[in-house]
Amino acid sequence: MNTQASPVKVYVRIRPTANFAHEFIECLPDLQTLSVRWRKESKKRTSNIHLNSWLFKLNGVLHNVSQEEVYDCVAQSVVLGAFEGYNGTIMCFGQTGAGKTYTMTGAAEAYKQRGIIPRVLQQVFHEVEHQTDQSFSVHLSFLEIYNETLVDLLSALKRGKGVNNWALGVVEEPGGGVSIKGLTLHLVHNEEEALNLLFESEGQVQREAMYINKSLSFLEQAILALADSRREHVPFRQSKLTHALKDSLEQQRTEPNLKEAGSSPPPKADAFEDFKADRGSEINRILKENKTVLLERRSRLETLTDVINATKRDMDSIASLLHQYRGQSQGQFVSAEGEHVMEEAELSLVMQLRELKNVYRKTYEEYNSTKAEVSYCQHLVNQCRVRLLTEFESWYNESFLLPGQVLSLLEGGPIRPGHVPVDKALTLEDDEQKTFRHPPDNQQETSSAISFYNAYNRSLQRKVKK
């Protein structure tokens, strides 16, 4: 978001049609100018035809473009600006059937045809995963403004079905900024959770507004006032729509990553060391003890392996010597019964081989027992590591990220704040340093598609149950 440029950008998307009115609408080669001509017959003389034309200079004209191209052109910079601390809003206008819903949400059953909102959710979590020097907490709300009435589309998830929306209102915060009082906040940890809420909200959307002209008129007045440097007052409070969008329209910058106390959360690596020295000291002590035992058992296993291999080599060597000796001395000494009598050297080899076999058998038994101990110790270490990391994530979110309102909602519930899945915790090579791993770019789309279709299938299941 370039603060030097206009905070408001305007794009026109033309819906594809087989009978495009080329004689009335022309997209100029610069892809930023739209020419509209209107043929009007004179009232005095029907044979006279007046042709009026207008040129509209825009930030972009989107004609015969894909959903991906629309997003890259219109929305991508807004999301990136949000990560820099700028409020952002994308508004879609058009008459009924113009394609507003398709542009914003897309086709729910086709991943490639998804709209701006699902793509925003994908980019948000992509940025969260890759900006490892920052800590993020993502909350989602869906608000509908219908005929100057505020409707929370996700209120049923927290307040139960059949319960009316609490009184929602646009309020000015004491420290500056605008918020919707009573609007539910939903903590989401990944793209799929966010998409589930999106599909849930789509089932709650009311009939298409037929009385939006008044709000749009006020919105136009507010934008014109913002563009006029001579105007000191901007009429934001004329409607709930303009009031709710006040921060975004003014292009106000917010400080990112703030907790309620107003300070930025510490880096996770530093906080992890503090956690291990204080609140997580006991589980960290147990983890260190288990790792010490594991290292000892592994060292013993390596020693036993060396002994077994050396013993086996000695056994093979003596067996070879014994075979050679017996071949050379065959028939030299025979007892009265006709049996072979061993010489002193041969007897010594036989005794050595017997002793080595005895050592090999006992060592191999200890090897199997130690191997089982190593496996068990490794299990304990992994278990302690997962618990340490899980407790740390909860502590970190409780201490630095989650607002008090969210913590009060989670209190007493089965889910701990900041609880992370075991498979995510195990991606850390060692508890001493947290290593972030990201899928290659060619896996990003695959992961997003899986999340998209999982959320879509859940929405279908909900419809069937209803």
Each residue's pLDDT tens digit, 115-124: 999 999 999 9
pLDDT digits (tens, 9 = 90+) for 309-336: 999 999 898 888 888 877 766 555 555 5
Q: What is the pLDDT of residue 118?
A: 93
Split at pLDDT 50, 70, 90, the class of 339 is low
**Nearest CA to 178 among 113, 89, 114?**
89
CA-CA distance, 365 to 386, in Å (whole number)? 32
Q: Which residues are annotated as a binding site for ATP?
A: 94-101
CB 74 within 8 A of CB 120: no
- Spatial neighbors of 21 by CB under 8 A, at least 6 apart, are none
| DSSP for 133-165, written as a single string | TS---EEE--EEEETTEEEETTHHHHH-TTPPP
Which 3 state secondary structure label does DSSP give 39?
A: strand
Distance between CA atoms of 105 and 119, rounded to whole angstroms? 9
Residues belonging to the chain: 466
Residue 445 to residues 27, 170, 448, Cα–Cα distance (Å)? 32, 37, 5
Q: Is the pLDDT of residue 444 over 70?
A: no
* Contacts of 41 by beta carbon, 8 Å cutoff, 6+ apart: 48, 49, 50
Residue 351 has pLDDT above 60, yes or no: yes
Which of residues 270 and 118 earns the better pLDDT score? 118
Cα separation, 301 vs 310, in Å, equals: 14
Select the more confidently predicted residue: 42 or 280.
280
pLDDT digit string, tens, across residues 53-63? 888 899 999 98
Report the C-alpha gap between 135 and 259 in whole angstroms.
Answer: 11
Helices 116-130 + 76-83 axis angle, to 10: 40
pLDDT at 160 over 70: no
Strands 186-188 and 138-140: antiparallel
Q: Write down the domain spans for the chain.
A: 274-323+364-402
Residues in binding site: 94-101
Q: Is the pLDDT of residue 229 over 60?
A: yes
